[in-house]
A and B are shown apart, each in its own frame.
Chain A
């Protein structure tokens, strides 16, 4: 059993890795979304501005594909790099204007009100204990198996001992320098 575990973990990590790859690939799509932002935005940190900027540029890209495919490819490259770069500068989040916040709250509540006015209130549900059990009498006669209790008590004790033995195996450096070329 012990021999199988490394193989299994290797397999599962490979499998997961593939899943992540797929995930990343789909995320790396060129479609400009609300997450899209560009390198050139270092001056304007406001996400709202960033969004409009990226929309402008991406629409530029789309408008001239026939003229220059190379330019288009380059544009995509820059954009994908920008999307995938961890941009700590973007952490300086903007503050939503109080006024705009109020406007949005009103808008959302208005829309929800509209949506909810169309919905009929759901039919009354059956009330009562054990209502969702076909044959409640079967369960009512059951008694707790003392074996279960014993098993649980032993298990808890076993786990307590195992938890007490948890310690960190120091194998690698805790601080790892980023490999920036």
Chain B
């Protein structure tokens, strides 16, 4: 998809790029609003044949909303395993975090990133919820 380039602070950007390097097999980190409009995205140079369309994200939002009604509390994370990729999505409304990695990527490590990330998401959360 042809999206306008995102301007972002060097520090935050390099932090997220560092995460890509730390987690072996992690290809993409994308932060979007609930409808899938990207706020920030970092990806490995490697040619990853996986396009994250806004509809992919908004489907997660609805699925997460519905899963929250199963009586087990609010849904926080959905992990989807595909034949070549795994997608970990976190519901941090108003933000949605999407991680795409190889199928044998360290899922536990991605999940452990959650609480480390919080401090870095504050500005983005503000930017999205201001509307």
* Contact-residue bracket for chain A: 35 or more
Q: Contacts of B48 on A, CB cut-off 8 Å?
A: none
Q: Would you list which residues of chain B between 2 and 37 have a CB under 8 Å from chain A?
A: 3-4, 6-9, 11-12, 33-37
With A20-B72, A84-B69, A91-B62 in contact, is A112–B54 under 8 Å at CB? no
B→A interface (CB under 8 Å):
3-4, 6-9, 11-12, 33-40, 54-55, 58-59, 61-63, 65-66, 68-74, 93-94, 123-124, 126-128, 130-131
Q: Would you list which residues of chain A between 44 and 64 have a CB under 8 Å from chain B?
A: 47-48
**Are B62 and A93 in contact, with the CB atoms below 8 A?**
yes
**Are B69 and A47 in contact, with the CB atoms below 8 A?**
no
Q: Contacts of B68 on A, CB cut-off 8 Å?
A: 27
10 A-B pairs in the complex with CB atoms less than 8 angstroms apart: A35-B65, A47-B58, A93-B55, A93-B61, A104-B33, A105-B3, A105-B39, A108-B39, A115-B123, A116-B123
Q: Contacts of A94 on B, CB cut-off 8 Å?
A: 55, 58
**Are A112 and B39 in contact, with the CB atoms below 8 A?**
yes
Give the docked Cα–Cα distance between A19 and B73 (Å): 9
With A96-B55, A115-B123 in contact, is A105–B37 under 8 Å at CB? yes
Measured CB to CB, the nearest residue on chain A to B9 is: A116
**Are B62 and A90 in contact, with the CB atoms below 8 A?**
yes
Q: In this assembly, does A6 line the interface, its C-beta being within 8 Å of a C-beta of chain B?
A: no
Tell me the interface secondary structure of chain A in the complex: helix
Give the docked Cα–Cα distance between A34 and B58 (Å): 13
* Cross-chain contact of A23 among B4, B54, B74, B124 (Cβ < 8 A): B74
Measured CB to CB, the nearest residue on chain B to A94 is: B58
Give the docked Cα–Cα distance between A41 and B47 (Å): 41
